[in-house]
């Protein structure tokens, strides 16, 4: 992603400046604890797509509810 673009990007919620996480390819709003995805170098500044950083990351140790959901899909 063009790093200069970062200067132009602000959080759509709080209008604050964002931090680019190069490894995760996410634009992070520290205030709202939201991470906006960057796909193919294009920042997707949509609240619907933003990841809530206060929630634990998904892990293979999924809760029982998630496994039940998968079972339903397979059936």
Return residues touching Zn ion (CB under 5 A).
Answer: 11, 13-14, 16, 29, 31-32
CB nearer to Zn ion: pick between 30 and 68: 30
DSSP 3-state percent helix, strand, coil across the chain (nearest 5): 25, 25, 50
Instruction: For residues 19 and 25, give the distance between their C-alpha atoms in angstroms, rounded to a whole number.
Output: 10
Q: Which residue has the tokens 């998904």?
A: 58
Closest CB to Zn ion belongs to which residue?
11
CB nearer to Zn ion: pick between 19 and 70: 19
CB nearer to Zn ion: pick between 33 and 67: 33
Q: How far is the CB of 39 from Zn ion (least distance, A)?
A: 20
Instruction: For residues 25 and 13, give the distance between their C-alpha atoms in angstroms, rounded to a whole number.
Output: 20
Q: How far is the CB of 26 from Zn ion (least distance, A)?
A: 13
């Amino acid at each position: 992603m063009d790093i200069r673009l970062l200067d132009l990007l602000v959080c759509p919620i709080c209008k604050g400046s964002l931090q680019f996480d190069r490894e995760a390819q996410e634009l992070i709003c520290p205030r709202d604890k939201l991470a906006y995805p960057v796909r193919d170098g294009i920042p997707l500044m949509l609240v619907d797509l933003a990841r809530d950083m206060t929630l634990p990351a998904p892990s293979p140790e999924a809760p029982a509810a998630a496994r039940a959901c998968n079972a339903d899909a397979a059936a």
